[in-house]
Amino acid sequence: MCGIVGAYGWTNDETLSAMLEWIEHRGPDEEGSYLDRDAGLMMGARRLSIVDLEGGSQPKWNEDESVGVVFNGEIYNHTELRESLSRAGHRFESECDTEVLVHLWEEYGEEMVSHLEGMFAFSIWDRDADSVFLARDRFGIKPLYYGETDRGFVWGSELPALLIGGVDRTIDPSAVYNHFSLEYTPAPQTLLEDVQKVEPGQTVRIDSDGCQKRTYWSLRDIETGSATGGFADAADRLRTLLDRSVEKRLMADVPVGAFLSGGLDSSAVVGIASELKDDPLKTYSVSFNDDMLDESEEARLVADHFGTDHHEVNIDLSSMDLFGEMIRYLGEPTGHLQMLPMYALSERASQDVKVALAGEGSDELFAGYPWYQHVPQHKRKVDFMPEFTHDVAGAVAQVSPVGNKHLRYYSGLKNNEEMLLNHVCGFTTFRPEPDEFLRTGETAATSGLRTNVGDVTEAVGTPALEQHMSAYETSYTLPDYHLFKADHMSMAQSLELRVPFLSTELVEFAHSLPVRHKVTDEDVKRVLKRAVSDLLPDEIIDRKKMGMRPPVEDWFMGDHNAIETWFTREKLRQTPYVDANRAMALREAHRRGEQSVGRTLWMILTYVAWHHTFIDEQNAIV
């Protein structure tokens, strides 16, 4: 596990050193770099030593040093790949997974990515071809940004490293609109016009002709609901895949622990890992003082059930003391309410372990969120209504002083595309629209958001709304929201987070299952519950989903230095596209109890703090 940076078309020793220094938290154990002035190429890595502690230094090279790689992630099938490549005549000097990549490139070229099972973001320099090859794993577990400057291309694991590399700091208004619609910025967009994300399942080749993108894997190519066989067989197959995935993700030469919320997903991972490990698994959970949000009792129940070495971190308003340093490690803002708990939880876990397992991905794959039940139910109740009534409701909602949110909700039940836009993309229907506190001039059509949704709905080969929701969330919400939060907050504490639900075969299998195996009006995650029914206590199988979120509604009712530092009229006015008067009015309405908009205020707070930390050139820290 590492952080990587690089540039093509120009070199500068000081810039490369500064870029590597920025991502030191991603790899505090070791630094490695390569610079070729004649080729106009530089790249480097900061290493967090996990596998082959002595032999995993980077960059890694092939035998004649014509191909080199810097790599972030883990390749879980590297042993099998090494054996295959050795039989083909390739020679290895280490046991680390990084070295496998250069020989795969020699053997397969750009098709090498189809052989990889794991989480990864890497750059390969091919001296003879005078080209750089960037690649990101299928689900976007590990981040990778790239951009073009007036000197050439630059890339890295975190956006601020590209700022150090000289990318322009101009903010993209369409990305701002999407960010406040979704609570994240959907790939390939970032908030900066000249920086893009390498998309999940995508590669980018950079040479003297520019850059060429290629998609090597897409969920949209998997036939939806195509699996045959009964429910029990599906559950048995899922359990086999999950057992196998957890076992692979225990691969490490350092201590491994797990995050445990007390929910179904993390509890299943902890249960399987506990059965596979000889010594007690170290587990970590968050507690809140609000009983409506606290899951610590359930987490302790699971920990006791499996005999884990369990630890808790309490989160309250005083935890906002961490806000400033958390923003520094984000590099790009998100409205995710779990950021602060994840940051504090990772800090505690990193005291004992270098690797932790987590349950991300299950809700998207197995229809675990409440809207997988509620929205289809609401749609069925109004199916008898003529389609034009949805358009009328939408038009009236724009001018009605009362009931406009309910009219918007009804309007969004028109068809699968409208339902995704209104009820999955940021859950916007019952919270303030971006136009209520922004001035971007953008809409879902001009920002690209409607295109993203349309592409998903067109690709899903079934009318079942639940499958469209799952496909959209797996393609966008999961990588750009949940995995972004998980990666940046854990790596801020030099902790590698692994996600067993996101093995390729498990994801493809889940997407092939019919809706009835996942969700009905009575239950969610049906097949997963059946798959682990022999493993977990009934209290965990049957409990409702909560989610690890702090009470920001309460936090914004009072004062805290972290809020008062950034949420001021002056700083709001200095932040592009924010309407300072409207934003302040929202906060005052919240404090008076007229509106509950803590989630929106949190998004505004993180965006303003990000801008003044990274983009405002007079005050930016990079």
The catalytic site residues sit at 2
d(CA 433, CA 119): 35
d(CA 219, CA 506): 12
Could you tell me how far CA 518 lies from the centroid of its own chain? 22
Residues 343, 345, 349, 355, Cα dihedral to 10°: -60
| Phi, psi (degrees; rounded to nearest 5) at 117 | -120, 115
* CB distance 73 to 1 below 8 Å: yes
Sign of the alpha-carbon dihedral angle for 74, 79, 84, 90: positive
Residues 45, 119, 460, 478, Cα dihedral to 10°: -80
Cis peptide before 28 (omega within 30 of 0): no
* CB distance 263 to 545 below 8 Å: yes
Q: How many CA atoms lie within 13 A of 61 on its CB side?
A: 10
User: Looking at residue 168, what DSSP letter applies?
Assistant: -
> Could you tell me which residues are beta bridge partners of residue 212?
205
Sheet strands (E) in 289-418: 309-315, 355-357
Closest CA to 358 of 280, 300, 283, 470: 283
Question: To which H or E segment does residue 593 belong?
Answer: none
Cis peptide before 188 (omega within 30 of 0): yes
User: Looking at residue 473, what DSSP letter applies?
Assistant: I
Which pair of tokens denotes residue 328?
């520094």
In this structure, the number of other CB atoms found within 10 A of the CB of residue 325 comes to 10
Closest CA to 550 of 323, 333, 264: 323
Measure the CA angle with vertex 475, ends 472 and 481; round to 5°.
95
Question: To which H or E segment does residue 496 belong?
Answer: strand 496-498
User: Looking at residue 15, what DSSP letter applies?
Assistant: H
Amino acid occupying residue 617 = E
* Range 531-556 burial, b when 16+ CB lie within 10 A, else e: bbeebbbeebbebeeeebbbbbeebb
d(CA 224, CA 509): 10
